[in-house]
Amino acid sequence: MHKTMNRREYEGLYATAARRRVLFGAHLAMTAAYVTAGLAAVLVPSVTALWVTIVVLLPWCVAMGAINTATRGLLELRRRALDERQRAERSEVMARAHRVTTVLLVATAAAAVVYGNAGGDLAPVTLPVLVGALVTHWLMPRWVALLRVQDEPDDE
């Protein structure tokens, strides 16, 4: 697994900070499309939503693989496979992702309170918000790790 996470064939996808930001944006957009289409396919069954879910899955998996490779498996490898620096980096990434997710959840809760007090019905949006929160909680460490990756030094 360590060898797989350190392959360099697709380094062009994430070699620079700008490319990593594009990869992040693309993965975020595909995640939003996939979750939205998946929820639509479950809540209001339609062939279109099912096809969008299927079509987005493969590029999403490729982007997820690029993220894992860009971070060299920081969050995928077992702790014993990481060196001391990588363990510290993993802890830092998890702490930052936890803080970001906490802020997003507080903002969501505040929006729900405001919406509920304004007379809005929260029942129809409860499942989509919960699924969105779960997916965000799952992927935030990977996104934070991707955005924290440093450029490789130039060959001398």
pLDDT at 150 over 90: no
pLDDT at 60: 96
How does the average pLDDT of the chain come out, rounded?
89
Residue with tokens 């996470």: 5
Tell me how far apart the alpha carbons of residues 95 and 132 are, in angstroms, rounded to a whole number. 20
Q: What is the mean pLDDT of residues 45-50?
A: 88
Q: Which two tokens stand for residue 3?
A: 């060898």
94-111 per-position pLDDT tens digit: 999 999 999 999 999 999
Residues 6+ positions from 33 with CB-CB distance below 8 Å: 52, 56
| Type of residue found at 79 | R
Tell me how far apart the alpha carbons of residues 93 and 125 are, in angstroms, rounded to a whole number. 30
Per-position DSSP letters for 4-39, written without gaps between them: HHT--TTGGGTSSHHHHHHHHHHHHHHHHHHHHHHH
Question: What percent of the chain has a predicted confidence (pLDDT) above 70?
Answer: 92
51-78 per-position pLDDT tens digit: 999 999 999 999 998 998 899 888 888 8
Where residue 5 falls among pLDDT bands split at 50, 70, 90?
low
